[in-house]
């Protein structure tokens, strides 16, 4: 018998809500200003990756080097543009089935936490009116090591007071699945099996997904 599931830890972007499209638009605008071509396919590399690392990847694509102050200014500019989109978001943008699944977890007294690389996680959760679902929120402001380092998920488990073996992580990024495993947690991939094949289970999304679908993980 495998360890029972006492808590679920959710990534934010790509799992609860699709903010990747807004990250893309803001990064693309920044890249364009520097004459760097940046496509939606390039944007895949930035999923789950921190803001600093994202800018490093884009600058490398354009073979551009920046002084620290300019680097900081570019990150601030990108975030300003990103937030313009975020402040337009409404609760309709919560991905299908997410709310029903969270309600089901609550009804079964399964604890709920957020583990996101984003420094804007609280702003986004408030905007989509989902803040109150999460008992513990660990975001990019609280961590020093990015995924695939398990720090974000371990802190979430610690905040809940639940052992990692009793936690399941929901992630859309390969590095996030790796982080869960490195933290001794089971992982559910949300997205494409080709990318998330290391997860214990891969689902296309939460529509028609329910707690009983996690049974194979515990038996
Ligand atoms: P911010 P997640 C991640 O969120 C995004 O997937 C990634 O594209 C972004 O660069 C990162 O947050 C940092 O976001 O600039 O808002 O701090 O998937 O870990 O919820
Ligand atoms: Mg994500």
Encode 109-126 in three state secondary structure: CCEEEEECCCCCHHHHHH
Q: Is residue 212 part of a domain?
A: yes
Q: Are 190 and 117 in the same domain?
A: yes
Q: Are 159 and 66 in the same domain?
A: no
CATH number where 189 lies: 3.40.50.1000
Q: Could you identify the atom of ligand 1 that is nearest to the CA of residue 173?
A: 18
Q: Is residue 37 part of a domain?
A: yes
Number of domains the chain contains: 2
Give the pLDDT confidence score for residue 177 in this predicted structure.
96
Boundary residue ending a domain (53, 86, 119): 86
How far, in Å, from the CA of 9 to the mean position of ligand 2?
Answer: 12
Question: For residues 173 and 14, is the Cβ–Cβ distance under 8 A?
Answer: yes
Give the pLDDT confidence score for residue 173 in this predicted structure.
92
Q: Are 71 and 136 in the same domain?
A: no
Predicted TM-score of the model (pTM): 0.95
How far, in Å, from the CA of 218 to the mean position of ligand 1?
Answer: 30
Domain ranges, residue 114: 7-17+95-218
Q: How far apart are CA 58 and CA 38, in angstroms?
A: 8
Give the pLDDT confidence score for residue 82 in this predicted structure.
98
Give the pLDDT confidence score for residue 44 in this predicted structure.
84
Per-residue pLDDT of the chain (219 residues; tens, 9 = 90+): 589 999 999 999 999 999 999 999 999 999 999 999 999 999 988 988 899 999 999 999 999 999 999 999 999 999 999 999 999 999 999 999 999 999 999 999 999 999 999 999 999 999 999 999 999 999 999 999 999 999 999 999 999 999 999 999 999 999 999 999 999 999 999 999 999 999 999 999 999 999 999 998 987
Give the pLDDT confidence score for residue 150 in this predicted structure.
98
Boundary residue ending a domain (67, 86, 105): 86
Q: Are strands 111-115 and 7-10 parallel, antiparallel or unpaired?
A: parallel
Phi, psi of 202 (to 5 degrees): -120, 130
Q: Is residue 65 part of a domain?
A: yes
Boundary residue ending a domain (65, 86, 107): 86
Instruction: Name the residues annotated as catalytic.
Output: 11, 13
Q: Are 170 and 187 in the same domain?
A: yes
Instruction: Tell me which residues have their CB closer than 6 angstroms to ligand 1.
Output: 11-14, 23, 46-51, 54, 79, 116-120, 140
Give the pLDDT confidence score for residue 169 in this predicted structure.
98
Q: Is residue 2 part of a domain?
A: no
Q: Are 185 and 118 in the same domain?
A: yes
Which residue lies with its CA nearest to atom 14 of ligand 1? 118
Q: Are 48 and 140 in the same domain?
A: no
């Amino acid at each position: 018998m495998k360890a029972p599931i006492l808590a679920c830890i959710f990534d934010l972007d790509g799992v609860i809500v699709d903010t990747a499209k807004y990250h893309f638009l803001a990064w693309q605008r920044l890249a364009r200003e520097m004459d760097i071509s940046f496509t939606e396919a390039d944007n895949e590399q930035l999923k789950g990756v921190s803001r600093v690392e994202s800018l490093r990847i884009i600058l490398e694509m354009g073979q551009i080097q920046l002084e620290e102050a300019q680097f900081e200014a570019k990150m601030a500019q990108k975030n300003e543009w990103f937030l313009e989109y975020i402040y337009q978001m409404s609760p309709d943008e919560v991905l299908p089935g997410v709310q029903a699944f969270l309600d089901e977890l609550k009804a079964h007294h399964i604890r709920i936490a957020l583990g996101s690389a984003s420094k804007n996680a609280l702003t986004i959760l408030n905007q989509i009116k989902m803040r109150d679902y999460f008992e513990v929120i660990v975001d990019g402001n609280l961590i020093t090591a990015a995924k695939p380092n398990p720090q974000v998920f371990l802190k979430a488990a610690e905040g809940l007071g639940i052992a990692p073996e009793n936690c399941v992580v929901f992630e859309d990024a390969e590095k996030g699945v790796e982080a869960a495993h490195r933290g001794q947690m089971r992982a559910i991939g949300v997205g494409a099996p080709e990318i998330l094949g290391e997860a214990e289970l891969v689902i296309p999304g939460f529509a028609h997904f329910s707690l009983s679908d996690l049974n194979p993980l515990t038996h």
